[in-house]
Structure 1
Amino acid sequence: MSTELKEFLNAHPDVQTIELLTTDLNGMVRGKRVEREAIRKVYKDGFSLPASVYAVDATGTTVEASGLGMDTGDADRICRPVPGTLTLVPWLEGRAQALVTMFETDGVTPFPADPRQVLQRVLGQFQTLGYAPVVAVELEFYLVDRERDAWGRLQPPVSPTTGRRMNSTQVYSMDDLDDYDAFIQEALRMAREQNLPADGVIAEYAPGQFEVNLHHCKDPMMAADHAIMLKRIIRHAAREFGLEATFMAKPYIDQAGSGTHIHLSMLDDQGQNIFTAEDPEQHTPLRHAIGGLLKTADQSQALLFPTINSYRRLSSEIYAPNSKTWGYDNRTVAMRIPSGDAAAYRVEHRLAGADANPYLAVAAVLAGVQYGLTHKADPGPAVVGNAYEQDHENLADNPRDALRAFEKSAWVQETFGTAFTSVYAACKWGETRLFEQQVTPMELDLLLPYV
């Protein structure tokens, strides 16, 4: 028995059930539960899950074009718990959880379609640079009322303090934080219980929208683990207060979208930040890193925009970047250098939607930076002023263009692996067709009576 498991079981004799968790391509948590008497065998030998768990669409149905379904007899692979992730489940007594990752049937070879293994692959490549990445993740999300409005649409929640429904944009509002302080404190309590470094919550740019910040982490894999666990906490904390929390990229078409913002700095072998500079816009390593992120943005966009809803977030002038741009202390660009102490200079990558799988988003960012530093990529001039009002090269505004760029990229194949890219593309083409083949209520309202 592992020392971690032995100490945990001794410390928590009331724990009877352990949840073993992984994420599919969309970042949805999947897995299985085992009872206390079975967990020792899991830690010793692993356990079986079908490989198709990484080849499901938004409906939870296996995408057969991935090659991981009936073509293989829906065969199993071996999952093993991730050391250091065994922890209590704060919202259920007698329950614990651990993250797991998948291997081939030999129990040793990483399974290429597991998003966690994709990030591990990229981290292995990144190590050749000789720098240590430091990553922090910010997650935006909405609280919504569990009841829909008279037309069946989402609506902001009713304040438990004032009894009024939120209906205005009050960015950084302290009153909004006060109104939902009980929810926020419960979410932060749960985070502390799972040792997650959640260090702040702010009211964002729309009614019911909030952002929670995770502290920077010298282990990018751990930073992604924390993001997965925190998303789950926020959803469960919301339920305790009769609310729903959603990480959809664009739940309201007329309000701001939600993003996953990834902050990245890099340390040399002396522990010094290589992005430190008196003039960040002229600093060579920082410019090359940003250049790589911009040069690879088209090719990796499909990883950062996993659903058709992701692309609805690209509305102009609501702080979602829709062009390949960068700048200093500028929230209208894709790659922002936040202001502050020069020793803490970093890149804030603002492209990914809140619906992105954190493992794949962090992998895309690290891979882009590696490309930039290796190829000395030039990002061009920094944007000054409102990028939305200027002429810049745009990102794809639909999944078809993004998937085409993803599939035809030799860099994507080499960086993320041909097996993963094949599975990912098959699943995302399937989802794209699934959503495109729906008849929407607007079509019925506008066309049915007249056409």
Structure 2
Amino acid sequence: MSVPPRAVQLNEANAFLKEHPEVLYVDLLIADMNGVVRGKRIERTSLHKVYEKGINLPASLFALDINGSTVESTGLGLDIGDADRICYPIPDTLCNEPWQKRPTAQLLMTMHELEGEPFFADPREVLRQVVSKFDDMGLTICAAFELEFYLIDQENVNGRPQPPRSPISGKRPHSTQVYLIDDLDEYVDCLQDILEGAKEQGIPADAIVKESAPAQFEVNLHHVADAIKACDYAVLLKRLIKNIAYDHEMDTTFMAKPYPGQAGNGLHVHISILDKDGKNIFTSEDPEQNAALRHAIGGVLETLPASMAFLCPNVNSYRRFGAQFYVPNSPCWGLDNRTVALRVPTGTPDAVRLEHRVAGADANPYLLMAAVLAGVHHGLTNKVEPNEPVSGNSYEQNEQSLPNNLRDALRQLDDSEVMARYIDPKYIDIFVACKESELEEFEHSISDLEYNWYLHTV
């Protein structure tokens, strides 16, 4: 893949600066392995140089753990002298940041080798490699995310989050009633600003719903016929939500399980596939009889255990699972069934799609999408037949069989021959090294519960 023509991108920069003479700064953004947005802030006068020559950032940006420390066992740190690579703008991502007091814009970047080829460890490039296999087949991925999050107070209590006080009633919410409109009203200014900010940034967010825990909400993104762009939108939406909430004197969390006994935050993705004529290959009056749909489901279910480390990448991710919280724990599917890992919504025949319901909101959208699409492609090309669809409560019919902790998930990923055909084994090594480093640090810590249990009892 060559670097996009500079002249085309310079036209984009010129048009934006002309339309927005008030802009003083531009944030150059790139998402790391954990989906954490990093980068640089420049003055507007430097934007043309960025479009012409890019900016330098160290390759170790993609070897950072969740705390921002370089994991040296990845080989991307001191072993290569903490050397730079070059980052170029992603077209059509230059837009305003509506929360800033000093007018500021933002621009997504992607990392390349100094010679111009994409850098293998950029999660966006990991996804592009998988998408290219569909391009070779003349197929286009159509995708959309549903992103769950909690509004939380800016002040923690004993290091633990708590729901924010309602700007209207002054009370902390305790409702667990899903879809309750009154709870939307309690935080209407913040939530409406999120939707308006998304519109201003070109992010296709079309709805917010109240989820099943206090101050928990879900934003639905409209589907787009570009899997990579769908992930760009998800990354930018998370940043937008965090900053808009902060403007309203609240924080947010996308942590998979911030509260014991309450629902976790999920990141569901809807996927359909278009052929060369723009027709959905999953279209069917009877989805169970559509061979392409069955094979896609079969491939995703077969690769699901090996995908779990990308879907649930943190220690906390696995605390989200539980039947009462509608989080699937076995590789199963069904028609319009929210207890399964892969739900096929039943609507009009041309709207048939897959809804992947396993991942947490703490997942990196690019890696999540890469893992799911790897399964889809594997299923289509090998005509993998799925098990029978589940009717009713899957938790009563299927025992938990997916990895239920990070260490087992990493082992499954590391040992998977199928995933290694889709995701560069060098990248899998880097991902596993980073996550094993985090896991080791976690396991060497001593929790409050251990002190409560053992300090004076043994």
1:210 counterpart residue number: 217
CA drift of 1:351 comes to: 1.1
Spell out the pairing of 1:35-114 with structure 2 (5 A cutoff).
35-92=43-100, 93-106=102-115, 108-114=116-122
Secondary structure (helix, strand or coil) at the match of 1:281 reads helix
1:91-114 per-position Cα deviation (integer Å, ceiling 9, x unaligned): 1132111000001121x1111110
Pairs within 5 Å for 1:325-336: 325-336=332-343
Aligned-residue identity in percent:
51
Task: Kindly indicate whether the alpha-carbon contact (under 8 Å) linking 2:374 and 2:419 is maintained by their aligned counterparts in 1.
Answer: no
Which of 176, 185, 194 is 1:178 aligned to? 185
1:128 corresponds in structure 2 to 136
TM-score normalised by the chain length of structure 2: 0.96
Tell me, yes or no, if structure 1 residue 7 matches structure 2 residue 19. Answer: no
> Secondary structure at 1:172's aligned position in 2?
coil
Out of 392, 412, 415, the position equivalent to 2:422 is 415
- Count, aligned residues: 449
* RMSD, aligned α-carbons: 1.2
> Which 4+ runs in 1 deviate beyond 6 A?
none
Secondary structure in structure 2 of the residue aligned to 1:187: helix
Q: For 1:291-345, what per-residue CA distance to the aligned partner results, in whole angstroms no more than 9, with x for missing partners?
A: 1110111111111111111111112321111111101111111000112112101
Which of 352, 357, 362 is residue 359 of structure 2 equivalent to? Answer: 352
Q: Does the CA-based 8 Å contact 1:126-1:366 persist in structure 2? A: no
Q: Does 1:275 align with 2:278?
A: no
Counterpart AA for 2:48? R
Partner of 1:140: 148
TM-superposed CA distance for 1:437, in Å, is 1.4
> Residue 257 of structure 1 aligns to a residue in which SS?
coil
One-letter amino acid of the counterpart of residue 390, structure 2? V
The one of 313, 337, 341 aligned to 2:344: 337
C-alpha contact 1:48 1:76 (8 A) present in aligned 2: yes
Deviation at 1:11, TM superposition (A): 1.2
Paired amino acid for 2:428 = T
> Which is worse superposed, 342-351 or 140-149?
140-149
**1:152/1:47 CA distance change after superposition, 3 Å:** closer
State which drifts further: 36-45 or 344-353. 36-45
Deviates more, 1:266-275 or 1:173-182: 266-275
5+ long unaligned stretches in structure 2: 1-6
Structure 1: 5+ residue stretches without partners: none
Q: Which residue of 2 aligns with 1:385?
A: 392
* Structure 2 partner of 1:22: 30
Would the aligned equivalents of 1:126 and 1:367 in 2 still touch at CA under 8 Å? no
Query: Which residue does 2:449 correspond to in 1?
Result: 442
Cα deviations by residue, 1:24-65 (Å, 9 ceiling, x for unpaired): 111000011111222211111111100001101111100000
Q: CA deviation at 1:393?
A: 5.4
- The CA distance in 1 between the partners of 2:372 and 2:415, in whole Å, is 19
- Contact kept, 8 Å, 1:325 with 1:392, in 2: the verdict is no
One-letter amino acid matched to 2:73 = A
Q: 1:268–1:274: 8 Å Cα contact kept in structure 2?
A: yes
**2:330 touches 2:398 (CA, 8 Å); kept in 1?**
no
Q: How far apart are residue 392 of structure 1 and its match?
A: 4.1
Match of 1:295 in 2: 302
Alpha-carbon distance, 1:19 to partner: 0.7
> Distance between the aligned counterparts of 1:430 and 1:208, measured in 2?
33
1:420 Cα offset (Å) = 1.1
CA distance in 1, matches of 2:418, 2:135: 18
CA contact (8 A) 2:323 2:395 kept: yes
Residue 304 of structure 1: aligned partner = 311
| Alpha-carbon distance between aligned partners in 2 of 1:51 and 1:361, rounded to the nearest angstrom | 21
Residue 376, structure 1, aligned to residue 404, structure 2:
no
Give the residue type in structure 2 aligned to 1:111. Answer: F
Distance 2:54 2:425 in 1: 26
Q: Distance in 2 between matches of 1:365 and 1:117?
A: 15
* Aligned partner (choices 194, 198, 203) of residue 205 of structure 2: 198
